[in-house]
Amino acid sequence: MSALETKNRDELFTPEIRAEIDHEIAKYPESESQSASMAALRIIQDANGGWLTQERMDEVAAYLELPPIAIYEVATFYSMYEHKPVGRNKLCVCTNISCMINNSDQIVEHLNNKLGIKFGEVTEDGRYSLKEVECLGACGGAPMMQVGRKYYENLTPEKLDSILDELE
Amino acid sequence: MANEVIFKNRDLDNLWDIEQYRSRGGYEVLTKILTEKTSPAEIIDGMKTSGLRGRGGAGFPTGLKWSFINRDTPTEKYLVCNSDEGEPGTFKDRDILRYNPHALVEGMLIASYVIDAHRAYNYIRGEFWEPSERFQNAIDQARAAGFVGKNILGSGFDCELNVHLGGGAYVCGEETALLESIEGKKGQPRYKPPFPAHVGLYGCPTVINNTETLASVPTILREGAEKFRDLGVENSGGSKLFSISGHVKNPGVFELPMGTPFSELFELAGGMRDGSKIKAVIPGGSSSPVIPGEIMMDLTMDYDAIAKAGSMLGSGAVIVMDDTTCMVKVLDRMGYFYHEESCGQCTPCREGTGWLYRIVHRLENGQGRPEDIDLLMDVQNRIRGKTICALGDAAAMPVAGMLRYYQDEFQYHIDHKKCMVGTGA
């Protein structure tokens, strides 16, 4: 490992981050620390601006003493891990049936027009990115979206405008 | 007779707080079991009497599932709760986590005691961050009160509860994919047998129950198995949470006795939105075949009645659609979903869901071919029953359901290259 890579890793793997990952590892039986791979990837992704690079994945693998492939498999199987830069606010819009029949198309169109981006894209200022997601289990509040850890339900174009203004 | 079990104390402002939960008898039955050292066999008998069937969708009898665990094996046993709620249309477990998390904590502890598990995990979908915090807070409160950890209430019984967050994969709601996911791997379902009761988490005997199932346990044992059973009808004991969404006026989660007429649930949800007319209902999550509204109005909400009508009660997720809804467009969206979520392990599902999606998608876009309806039936038939897990069936069944009742709409798309809805045809 080069000196530069070591430095990067140490910068990211702060004592706080290590403690957070170690807390996850402790949930599982000894010798089963692979179980913490999903949580470790989530923690590192959050610390890395919301997305993962191969270097970051390799570091997670090294920390958990796993072959890198075990981490790549997990990081590419689950939809919440990102492999390209995302906006500071990742707008995850549900377009599944209950949302679709409650005009999620209109929500998506409004976001497309207002932000000038499509699904999978980031605004130039890095403030927002758009992502199409599958049912998030809040169909009673359709149409809905998730931003960060929060759900926004019963969306309308007007409501969207005020939500977007509040997101830094 | 609504709100008899899970939502029973929903009138309390902060039911998620342990003091509130305990003010109505919460943790009493756990305390009784642990201090009296009730025999696990007796608890299992109670669960069998209650008629409780798995609320995740498959409807497997809970007491029977628990009885499959051999407590005398020297290895660890595990209890796993499935809060990976992802079946489109389903949003009931989120409400349990948010509003009654202690019922789930208590239910998980009782189930763990019965199968002699000293570690239990609640697998919560990663998007449910806020509900998972509320659940974690309930665990912390329960631990502070002596209900979680070592030597619970001096009984000698140890049990740790932990949350495992998912990462966004519908297939992880399948119990063996979920176990792979807890082991920190991609969520690809395992062959069964061996069943999880013999070879489950980390190769050890494991019981996996749905959130609603486990959260029902304390009330069933506290108030009596017969009382719970008698809320429902034959083969469908107890009450059930129904998530109703779509074109109804007041979508939401309603707890009703099994066997309640659909028309009552529909009325609770406020009926159709102003001016619209009911067209079709998906009665048990997107995998359950669609039923025309007029047939649905005469059905009751229980396993047998919905099965007799050719569909499934599933997770109790009811999606109501009005007469402006194009069934081709609905199936197009569903097809995309199953194709997107197929784990890729079995060829019939990986390839077949792509075929289904592409065919319906071209129909929806006015590029349908005369042979497409036969082709759809053929493809769905080649997926059904030919895959390791039920995701293949879940993708195939709605296709046959749509064509059973709405083939004319699909034919219209082929013949006229456009949608039939609104044309008066």
Cβ–Cβ under 8 Å, residues B87 and B173:
yes
Q: What is the pTM of this model?
A: 0.96
Mean local confidence (pLDDT), B95-122 = 98
Which value, in Å, is the radius of gyration of the alpha carbons in chain A? 18
Q: What is the pLDDT of residues B343-359, one digit of tens each?
A: 999 999 999 999 999 99
Q: Describe the strand order of the beta sheet including B78-83 as a list of residue ranges.
A: B160-165, B119-124, B78-83, B206-210
Contact A101 B90 (CB under 8 A): no
Q: How many CB atoms lie within 10 A of CB B42?
A: 10
* Chain A residues in contact with B345 (beta carbon < 8 A): none
Cβ–Cβ under 8 Å, residues B222 and B46:
no
Q: What is the pLDDT confidence band of residue B422, given thresholds at 50, 70 and 90?
A: confident
Q: Residue B40 corresponds to which tokens in the numbers above? A: 């696990």
Residue A6: what pLDDT?
Answer: 45
* Distance between B245 CA and the closest CA of chain A, angstroms: 5
Strand B252-257 and strand B239-246: pairing? antiparallel
ipTM of the prediction? 0.95
Q: What is the pLDDT confidence band of residue A35, given thresholds at 50, 70 and 90?
A: very high
Q: What is the pLDDT of residues B59-90, one digit of tens each?
A: 999 999 999 999 999 999 999 999 999 999 99
Instruction: Assess whether the previous peptide bond of B193 is cis (omega < 30° from 0).
Output: yes
Q: What is the pLDDT of residues A112-167, one digit of tens each?
A: 999 999 999 999 999 999 999 999 999 999 999 999 999 999 999 999 999 999 99
Interface check B128 vs A, CB under 8 A: yes
Instruction: Check residue A49 and report its DSSP letter.
Output: T
* Chain A residues in contact with B126 (beta carbon < 8 A): 38, 42, 78, 80
Q: Which of residues 54-93 of A touch B (CB under 8 A)?
A: 70, 73-74, 77-81, 92
Q: What is the dihedral of CA A62, A67, A70, A75, to 10 degrees?
A: 40
- Facing residue for A78 by CB, picked from B167, B329, B340: B167
Contact B330 A41 (CB under 8 A): no
The candidate with the shortest Cα–Cα distance to A47, out of A21, A65, A71, A25, is: A21
**Does residue A16 surpass a pLDDT of 80?**
yes
Q: Which of residues 143-172 of B touch A (CB under 8 A)?
A: 162-170
Is the pLDDT higher at A7 or at B154? B154
Q: Which of residues 3-62 of B touch A (CB under 8 A)?
A: none
- Facing residue for B126 by CB, picked from A36, A80, A98: A80
Q: Which long-range contacts (CB under 8 A, 24 or more apart) does B263-271 make?
A: B263/B297, B265/B301, B265/B318, B266/B297, B266/B320, B268/B2, B268/B244, B269/B244, B269/B320
Strand B78-83 and strand A150-152: pairing? unpaired
The candidate with the shortest Cα–Cα distance to B291, out of B400, B162, B160, B421, is: B400
Mean local confidence (pLDDT), B332-353 = 97
* Distance from C-alpha of A69 to C-alpha of A56, rounded to nearest angstrom: 13
- Bridge partner list, A43: none
Contact A100 B333 (CB under 8 A): yes
At B47, phi and psi to the nearest 5? -65, -35
Q: Which distant-in-sequence residues (6+ apart) come within 8 Å of B252 by Cβ?
A: A140, B243, B244, B269
- Facing residue for B245 by CB, picked from A28, A78, A142: A142
* Chain A residues in contact with B321 (beta carbon < 8 A): 101
Q: What is the pLDDT of residues B220-276, one digit of tens each?
A: 999 999 999 999 999 999 999 999 999 999 999 999 999 999 999 999 999 999 889
